[in-house]
Structure 1
Amino acid sequence: MDEVSEAAIPAAGSWAGRLAEWTARRLEPVAIGLGAILIGLMLFSLFILALGKSPLMLFQLMYTGGFGSWFSIQNSLSRAAPLLLTALCVALPARLGLIVIGGEGALALGGVAAAAAALPLTHLLSPFPALIGMALAAMLAGGVWIGCVGALRHYRGVNETISSLLMSYIAIAVMNQLVEGVLRDPASLNKPSTPPLPADYMIGALPGMDVHWGFAIGIAACVVSYLLIETTTWGFAARIAGGNTRAAEVQGLPVGRLIVGFTALAGACAGLAGMIEVAAVQGSANGAIIAGYGYTGILVAFLARHNPLAIIPIAILIGGIDASGGLIQRRMGLPDATVLVLQGTLFIVILACETLYGRFKLFNPELWRRNL
């Protein structure tokens, strides 16, 4: 009996150690992320004070405009829907050590591709198959566009951050050219747009809510992405390649296919966001779909530490901040872009906090063992 008890002690200690290590690794990004948000809010408060306004009133209006009523919550969730998908456009390549910031361009191309596909599909198919076809067209357009960024990175050594940003500008120009050219609806005089979707072909709202199905699609995409990264061999190989590309190549991992595949999948997510904006919000492809969701998705992904599940609450938070912009403008006399200043402050702080990861004894079980 004593032998059994003694044999069980190391096993129990091993499990306890593993649990402590797992907990520490999960708590560190959460704690540092929350700390970065608090520091960003403090710095933003100084900015508001310099303008002669009350930070407390500002934050109260942010809460009221974003989450203070059922209407506000639904508005925030609707604004969070595209952020869920554009954040994945950053988070998925980040697992390979790539910083891709071209989600805005992929969203634009996805939106115009969906609108172009709708022209024949709405005449040939019923609503659900037509929407599926539009989604596939949007995902293909966004996937090919960002996939090219991955190909340039692997085969030609082109920096993916620069190339994705430049290609984003090109994609927006291509969208404007198509919307104002061959795809333009002659009836859209003051605001160039593609022909509007029939009402039956619009994406409806979730049951009992005034939030379109794009929000549920975004959550599903985050969950699937998490499972891909954490539970599949492709996800494991991507994490290995992201840690050390040279070592991954020596071990025979298909680094090139991983880079192109994950960037293409990331672009497909952003392209799907463009389709949702067309089919759930705008009703056509026009300049209004370029609303900065791709760039805001960068902030969401970094605040979430590129964790697809953490993207969900962060996107809702940022969506609520965006939703409060109009209320802040009316009540405090501040420009609607004030929330953009807050987002920029948060982004700068979270980048500065990158140097802190892995340096705290509280979150490092290895340091515990060394100092015991």
Structure 2
Amino acid sequence: MRSTVSYGSPAAARLILAVLPALPTLCALVGTLLLFSLFLLVQGQPVLDAIGYIFDGAFGSSFAWQSTLLRASPLMLTALCVALPAQVGLIVIGGEGALALGGLVAAVIAVLVPQGTSWLIATPLMALGGMLAGAVWIGAVGALRQWRGVNETISSLLMSYIAIALFKHLVEGPLRDPTSLNKPSTRAVPDALTIGSMPGLEVHWGLLWGVLACVAAWVFVKHSTKGFAMRVAGGSNRAARLVGLPVNLLAFSACALGGAAAGLAGMFEVAAVQGSANASLLAGYGYAGILVAFAARQNPLAIIVCALMVGGIEASGSLLQRRLGLPDATTLVLQGLLFANLLAWEALGGRIMAWRVKLQAVALADATTQLEQTHA
């Protein structure tokens, strides 16, 4: 008697189809745990204890959760700086520079607005300024790619270096607050314009806006004509041009939107965390956002979950240091292993497409049979 659950079973085919997109990420997670365990064993560290401390440091208490959420907030937005251009087939890794410039512009606007201006006016201006700075910077990457043929991965990385250098020059030079002695920074954001915490949490409102941005990006990509056009362009640039889609404009728009998200992250870091634009703003959130986007396989909704995972890893570093005496940078090793595994398991992409075709054929055949039986 034939088993009801097999490769050819319609029910099994539908189940596998549902989890198939996450397969490379799941394989990467398993590979990362194995390699990280080996890394700990070489140092004579207890593997299970270390993994337990990572979990406790990320999600084991209310304090751990708040620390994780605080780090996940900018990661959601910087990950969108990678995920949105990826919809049109571009690999952009310049979110760190866009975040820095977005935060710098927001800090300048906070100081320039007339004293006594309501936060209802000043805070949106800061957000718009930060988003515009990020959009212009990353949008330029898309423009260079589409109109001048410059590789977007290289140009976005170089543009990020330029943005960071420009940020440091302005913060340590023309925009420096004379009262900031050992830690150069811009003038502090007025207390009336700082962004506080959400009720019941020690986490600022940037978390909510990060989640909303991811949901809005998912709706845009999956359920709008422009989003569909971007995915068509990302699937086949030549086919998109043949059907008359404005590929150049779509690529530029995707990059600008991604840059705007990273710029918004910078604004929240300045207005809610740092209180001014300073070197602490360059905490690597733009680079970690690349890892989040790849772990989420460029899916805006999955970015929320992956940002929590990576934010939790970052939050657990201090607990590993206190309990096992491991350097705080141990969590960076874990992130690096995860990123390497994600890239390695991307090779499954072609095989997954082949499996998907076969599984869809099984599911379609079952649906056709059921339809015929209904009309019989």
TM-score by length of 2: 0.91
Q: Is the 2:110–2:126 Cα contact (8 Å) retained in structure 1?
A: yes
Aligned CA distance change for structure 1 residues 245 and 365 (closer, same or farther; 3 Å): closer
Q: Do residues 272 (structure 1) and 267 (structure 2) align?
A: no
Q: Is the 2:14–2:359 Cα contact (8 Å) retained in structure 1?
A: no
Q: Do residues 352 (structure 1) and 344 (structure 2) align?
A: yes
Q: Deviations over 1:326-355 (max 9, x none)?
A: 111122111111101000100011111111
Q: Deviations over 1:45-69 (max 9, x none)?
A: 1011111111111111111111110
Q: Do residues 323 (structure 1) and 315 (structure 2) align?
A: yes
Residue segments in structure 2 that go unaligned for 5+ positions in a row: 1-8, 366-376
Aligned CA distance change for structure 1 residues 33 and 122 (closer, same or farther; 3 Å): farther
SS at match of 1:364: helix
Matches within 5 A, 1:137-148: 137-148=129-140
1:172 aligned residue = 164
SS at match of 2:115: helix
Aligned CA distance change for structure 1 residues 203 and 26 (closer, same or farther; 3 Å): farther
Compute the displacement of 1:207 (Å).
Answer: 1.3
Compute the displacement of 1:230 (Å).
Answer: 0.5
SS at match of 1:344: helix
In 1, Cα distance between the equivalents of 2:178 and 2:326? 38
Identify which of 242, 253, 259 aligns with 1:250: 242
In 1, Cα distance between the equivalents of 2:341 and 2:114? 47
Structure 1 consecutive aligned stretches of length 4 or more whose deviation exceeds 6 Å = 19-22
Q: Is the 1:21–1:365 Cα contact (8 Å) retained in structure 2?
A: no
Partner letter of residue 71 of structure 1? F
Q: Do residues 188 (structure 1) and 180 (structure 2) align?
A: yes
Q: Is the 1:179–1:194 Cα contact (8 Å) retained in structure 2?
A: yes
Compute the displacement of 1:92 (Å).
Answer: 0.3
Compute the displacement of 1:29 (Å).
Answer: 2.1
Matches within 5 A, 1:96-115: 96-115=88-107
Aligned CA distance change for structure 1 residues 360 and 97 (closer, same or farther; 3 Å): closer
In 2, Cα distance between the equivalents of 1:97 and 1:138? 25
In 2, Cα distance between the equivalents of 1:21 and 1:104? 41
In 2, Cα distance between the equivalents of 1:237 and 1:363? 26
1:213 aligned residue = 205
Q: Deviations over 1:147-206 (max 9, x none)?
A: 000000000000000000000000000001111111111110000001111222111111
Q: Is the 1:85–1:270 Cα contact (8 Å) retained in structure 2?
A: yes
Identify which of 283, 289, 292 aligns with 1:300: 292
In 1, Cα distance between the equivalents of 2:91 and 2:352? 25
2:329 aligned residue = 337
Partner letter of residue 56 of structure 1? L
RMSD of aligned residue pairs (Cα, Å): 2.0
SS at match of 2:347: helix
Partner letter of residue 366 of structure 1? K
Partner letter of residue 266 of structure 1? G
In 2, Cα distance between the equivalents of 1:253 and 1:23? 35
SS at match of 1:285: coil
2:221 aligned residue = 229
Q: Is the 2:107–2:186 Cα contact (8 Å) retained in structure 1?
A: yes
2:143 aligned residue = 151
Partner letter of residue 37 of structure 1? L
Q: Is the 1:27–1:363 Cα contact (8 Å) retained in structure 2?
A: no
1:36 aligned residue = 28
In 2, Cα distance between the equivalents of 1:366 and 1:358? 13
Residue segments in structure 1 that go unaligned for 5+ positions in a row: 1-15
Compute the displacement of 1:365 (Å).
Answer: 4.6
2:109 aligned residue = 117
Compute the displacement of 1:25 (Å).
Answer: 4.6
Bigger mean CA offset, 312-321 vs 32-41: 32-41
In 1, Cα distance between the equivalents of 2:15 and 2:226? 25
In 2, Cα distance between the equivalents of 1:257 and 1:22? 37
2:233 aligned residue = 241
In 2, Cα distance between the equivalents of 1:366 and 1:100? 33
Partner letter of residue 217 of structure 2? S
- Equivalent residue pairs, number: 356
Partner letter of residue 156 of structure 2? S
Partner letter of residue 259 of structure 1? A
Q: Sequence identity, in percent?
A: 57
Bigger mean CA offset, 351-360 vs 112-121: 351-360
Q: Do residues 85 (structure 1) and 77 (structure 2) align?
A: yes
Partner letter of residue 190 of structure 1? N
Q: Is the 2:197–2:205 Cα contact (8 Å) retained in structure 1?
A: yes
Identify which of 48, 54, 65 aligns with 1:62: 54
In 1, Cα distance between the equivalents of 2:115 and 2:228? 44
In 2, Cα distance between the equivalents of 1:124 and 1:151? 40
Q: Is the 1:106–1:168 Cα contact (8 Å) retained in structure 2?
A: yes
SS at match of 2:341: helix
